[in-house]
Structure 1
Amino acid sequence: MSGVTLQKVVKRYGDAEVIHGVDLTVEDGEFCVFVGPSGCGKSTLLRMVAGLEETTGGAIRIGARDVTKADPSERGVAMVFQTYALYPHMTVAENMGFGLKMTGHPKAEIAAKVTEASRILKLDDYLARKPKALSGGQRQRVAIGRAIVRGPEVFLFDEPLSNLDAELRVEMRVEIARLHREIGATMIYVTHDQVEAMTLADKIVVLRKGRVEQVGKPLDLYHNPDNRFVAGFIGSPAMNFIAGTVEQGAVRAPGLSDVPVQTGVALPGSGAKLVVGLRPQHLALAAGATHRVEMTEALGGVSFIHLSAPGGEKLVVEAKEDPSVRLGDRVGVSYAADSALFFAADEAGRRIR
């Protein structure tokens, strides 16, 4: 197995630059997830690693090899796509071994590798079936098995669970995590679903508009985001953002109340605008009538209450039990002041530390 290194990687389509000088290192055996909204460049970056998109500038290395200009077949990668792309007239075993058959590998070697892949993916009972006789989750496992059989240095996954229903997505997340533990391969995984990113990744790369916003372990990004975009994207429901103003060394946020300053946070001067960030679990319903209940989501063990603040700002409050509030009720809000984060009010939204 090998790691992957991107050095100032650029992608242009004509005059339009869509990947802007990305530097990144994926360590050998690491599970790295590219995450971000639609159009952020995560699939384009993955396809550049695979060799399916030409690299306009910079360099891509897999292990010690510079593969920037190498053909996809020479890079030592295997890719699993959103669509299964299985041959309908072939059995599971034939689909999994087809790539090796086309490259002239002996039948005994192909059979041994298919058997090992089917054991890892628990497909032994399905090897003689055609794809039409499989569920969506089983088809995706066959597609992953086809990649395993090739014995690549790096596995690439491009939103492989998007076509599955909610229950199968959870099941396949567990399967992919188990697969990574068992074979210890370097894996790069693309998703727009931050829950998948949080549960699967050793390292998350948050992308926006073709640039890397932050790289780190899932909980590091959750607890210590560098900017407002990362803070809002990582975590479900998203972090609440409330406009505030610095007044005499404190923060005034009409959507809440006076927010005490965290120790060690260097605030800008009085009158400066900033944004206060609080996660739903750090807010609570309280006595008062300052906020209007817009909607409640009762999920059993937890409820999410959507509120409208006096200035029109939207807040989400997490409650562990049924809060017994209904649409149109008026409530107050309290908060854990030591959990508040502060961000610049401009578009970049850099964290104030």
Structure 2
Amino acid sequence: MTGVTLEQVVKRYGDVQVIHGVDLEIADGEFCVFVGPSGCGKSTLLRMIAGLEETTTGTIRIGARDVTRAEPADRGVAMVFQTYALYPHMTVEENMGFGLKMTGHPKAEIKGKVAEASRILKLDEYLKRKPAALSGGQRQRVAIGRAIVRGPEVFLFDEPLSNLDAELRVEMRVEIARLHKEIGATMIYVTHDQVEAMTLADKIVVLRDGVIEQAGAPLELYRDPDNRFVAGFIGSPSMNFVAGIVRGGAIEVAALHMTVAPPVTLPSDGTDVLLGLRPEHLAVDPAGDTHFVDLTEALGGVSYAYLTSDTGEKIIVEERGDLRSSAGDRVGLTLDPERAMVFDAATERRLR
């Protein structure tokens, strides 16, 4: 297996530029997830690596090979799409081995590779079935098996779980994580679902408008985001952002009815900033009277209280334990200043 390198990669459609000079290093055997909102360029970037979209300028390398202008079949990649793209008249075994059959591989070799892929994906009992007799999750496993049989250097996944229901998505996330651990291949995975990104990735690449906002390990991005966009995109529920103003070396936050002194270098007095607080870094004060509880989502071991401040800001707080707030309550808030993040209100860059 091998890694992937992008150097100043640009994609234009006529006069419209959608990928803006992307530099990225994906290590051998790494599970890299491209994540971001719709239209951010993540699927376009994946298709450029696959050779399904032409690279306008820049260089794409797979291992030591420059594949920027190479045909898709010559790049050593296999792609798994959102749609399963299985032949309905063929059995699972025939679907998985069809690519090798078309390239003239011996029958014994095809049979051996299909058997190995089937073992990895636990498909042995389905080999003689046709796609119509399979569930959505089983069909997606067959599509992944077809990619494994090809023996690629790099696996590319383009939102492969989008067509599955919630339970199957969780099941297939586990399957894909186990697959990566077993075969150790380099994998690049596109999703708009940051939960998928957090649970699968060795490295997350957060994209916005064709630019990499930040790349790093999941918890690195969660704990140490570079800007408001990354801080708000990574994490579920999203980070709370409340407006504040710097006064006397601290931040006055009207929405919280308090002054906060986080351990960062603050700009001059009078500067507008945003205070970022994860829901788990806030706590409800039942004795307070500054916020109204609009809704409480009770999820068992954890609840999320949706609050509105007296000044109209919406805030989400995570609650655990036996005593939790209820809709209609009047409460206050407490927080640990050490956990607060501060962002410049104008540039949205993180202040450290």
Q: Please give the TM-score of this superposition, normalised by the length of structure 1.
A: 0.98
- The reply on whether 1:118 has 2:118 as its aligned counterpart is yes
Q: Is the CA contact (8 Å cut-off) linking 2:283 and 2:335 kept in structure 1?
A: yes
SS in 1 for 2:97: helix
| Separation (CA, whole Å) in 2 of partners of 1:150 and 1:244 | 56
Counterpart of 1:334? 334
Shift of 1:185: 0.3
Counterpart of 2:23? 23
Shift of 1:27: 0.4
- The reply on whether 1:2 has 2:2 as its aligned counterpart is yes
| Separation (CA, whole Å) in 2 of partners of 1:259 and 1:34 | 38
Shift of 1:295: 1.2
Counterpart of 2:350? 351
- The reply on whether 1:181 has 2:161 as its aligned counterpart is no
Counterpart of 1:89? 89
Give the letter aligned to residue 187 of structure 2: M
Matches within 5 A, 1:261-340: 261-263=261-263, 265-286=264-285, 287-321=287-321, 323-340=323-340
Counterpart of 2:165? 165
| Separation (CA, whole Å) in 2 of partners of 1:76 and 1:210 | 25
| Separation (CA, whole Å) in 1 of partners of 2:310 and 2:275 | 16
Q: Is the CA contact (8 Å cut-off) linking 1:89 and 1:130 kept in structure 2?
A: yes
Counterpart of 2:258? 258
Q: Is the CA contact (8 Å cut-off) linking 2:250 and 2:262 kept in structure 1?
A: no
Give the letter aligned to residue 159 of structure 1: E
Counterpart of 1:210? 210
Q: Is the CA contact (8 Å cut-off) linking 1:298 and 1:322 kept in structure 2?
A: no
Matches within 5 A, 1:149-164: 149-164=149-164
Structure 1 runs of 4+ off > 2 angstroms?
257-263, 321-329
Give the letter aligned to residue 194 of structure 1: Q
SS in 2 for 1:157: strand
Counterpart of 1:101? 101
SS in 2 for 1:266: coil
| Separation (CA, whole Å) in 2 of partners of 1:256 and 1:250 | 14
Give the letter aligned to residue 53 of structure 1: E
Counterpart of 1:199? 199
The 1:129/1:319 distance shift into structure 2, 3 A limit, reads: same
Q: Is the CA contact (8 Å cut-off) linking 1:259 and 1:337 kept in structure 2?
A: no
Shift of 1:335: 1.0
Q: Please give the TM-score of this superposition, normalised by the length of structure 2.
A: 0.98
Aligned-pair identity (%): 73
The 1:259/1:33 distance shift into structure 2, 3 A limit, reads: farther
| Separation (CA, whole Å) in 2 of partners of 1:313 and 1:59 | 46
SS in 2 for 1:163: coil
| Separation (CA, whole Å) in 1 of partners of 2:116 and 2:148 | 9
Shift of 1:206: 0.4
Q: Is the CA contact (8 Å cut-off) linking 2:257 and 2:290 kept in structure 1?
A: no
Q: Deviations over 1:255-277 (max 9, x none)?
A: 113343233x1111000000000
Shift of 1:62: 0.3
The 1:111/1:259 distance shift into structure 2, 3 A limit, reads: farther
State the superposition RMSD in angstroms: 1.0
| Separation (CA, whole Å) in 1 of partners of 2:311 and 2:40 | 31
Matches within 5 A, 1:14-53: 14-53=14-53
Q: Deviations over 1:36-61 (max 9, x none)?
A: 11111000000000000011111100
Shift of 1:323: 4.5
Q: Deviations over 1:123-142 (max 9, x none)?
A: 00000000010011100000
Q: Deviations over 1:272-313 (max 9, x none)?
A: 000000100111111221111111111111100001112211
The 1:274/1:79 distance shift into structure 2, 3 A limit, reads: same
Q: Deviations over 1:46-97 (max 9, x none)?
A: 0000000011111100001111111100000000000000000000000000
Q: Is the CA contact (8 Å cut-off) linking 1:29 and 1:184 kept in structure 2?
A: yes
Q: Deviations over 1:82-129 (max 9, x none)?
A: 000000000000000000011111111100000000000000000000
Q: Is the CA contact (8 Å cut-off) linking 2:289 and 2:330 kept in structure 1?
A: yes
Give the letter aligned to residue 279 of structure 2: P
SS in 2 for 1:292: strand
Shift of 1:145: 0.1
| Separation (CA, whole Å) in 2 of partners of 1:184 and 1:113 | 17
| Separation (CA, whole Å) in 2 of partners of 1:31 and 1:134 | 28
Name structure 2 gaps, 5 residues minimum: none
Shift of 1:321: 3.4
